[in-house]
Amino acid sequence: MSTAALGLTLTLAVTLAAERYHWPLWRKLAANAVAVGLLSGWYVACPAEPATVWALRLLVLLVVLHLLVAVVPYLGELRRTADTPGFWRYNETLFLRILTAGLYSGVLFAGCGLALLTIGNLFDIKFASYVYAHLFLVLGTVFNTWFFLASVPANVATLEQEAPYQ
């Protein structure tokens, strides 16, 4: 589970770097292979019953990888002025979208949960208690990620154009 959580941000960062720096196909595949290798290493090394040290390692890695996603298209700018309008607009887009994704997932969960409850009461159908937990998990992982990824800016260069914040 922790491997997949780390993989979400690591593979996203690799894809964004490949798009931003126009990596050739072989380099893209090599970077993805390295990412999968690192994740496999974590999966093998992480104990089944993680101690506090492993939990802290996971927490630090998750924070670092989230920050990496926020800066990876602008790592090349560090040698110049990293403080470009595009950097802030890119982060604004990601931040607003993650909030929107959370809101949509929550509303969808509430709607589907109410629908299940209504069906259960109307037709006297007994749903297992874990159905709601599964629904929450599906919306919180698959739907939330899919919805968020749909608005990750594809062309970072267009964000550099001067425009007032909305």
Partner 1 sequence: MKLSPLQHVVAQARQVVRRFPLTLLCSFILCAAGIYQQRLSPAMEQK
Question: Looking at beta carbons only, is 114 or 137 nearer to partner 1?
Answer: 137
Residue 65: partners with Cβ closer than 8 Å, 6 or more residues away:
6, 9, 10, 13
Buried b / exposed e across 8-19, counting CB within 10 Å, b at 16+?
A: bbbbbbbbbbbb
Question: Looking at beta carbons only, is 82 or 96 nearer to partner 1?
Answer: 96
Query: Given the rule CB under 8 A, which residues bind partner 1?
Result: 1, 3-5, 7-8, 11-12, 14-15, 19, 32, 35-36, 130, 133-134, 137-138, 141-142, 144-146, 149-150, 152, 154
Residue 147 phi, psi (nearest 5): -65, -40
State the minimum distance, in angstroms, from the CB of residue 114 to partner 1.
Answer: 20
Q: How far is CA 160 from its chain centroid? A: 23
State the minimum distance, in angstroms, from the CB of residue 57 to partner 1.
Answer: 18
Q: How far is CA 47 from its chain centroid? A: 24
State the minimum distance, in angstroms, from the CB of residue 98 to partner 1.
Answer: 14
Question: Looking at beta carbons only, is 85 or 134 nearer to partner 1?
Answer: 134
Query: Environment class of residue 73 by beta-carbon count within 10 Å: exposed (0-12), middle (13-18) or buried (19+)?
Result: buried
Rounded (to 5) percent helix, strand, coil in the chain: 80, 0, 20
Question: Looking at beta carbons only, is 18 or 86 nearer to partner 1?
Answer: 18
Question: Looking at beta carbons only, is 98 or 152 nearer to partner 1?
Answer: 152
State the minimum distance, in angstroms, from the CB of residue 50 to partner 1.
Answer: 13
Give the three-class secondary structure for 166.
coil
State the minimum distance, in angstroms, from the CB of residue 8 to partner 1.
Answer: 5
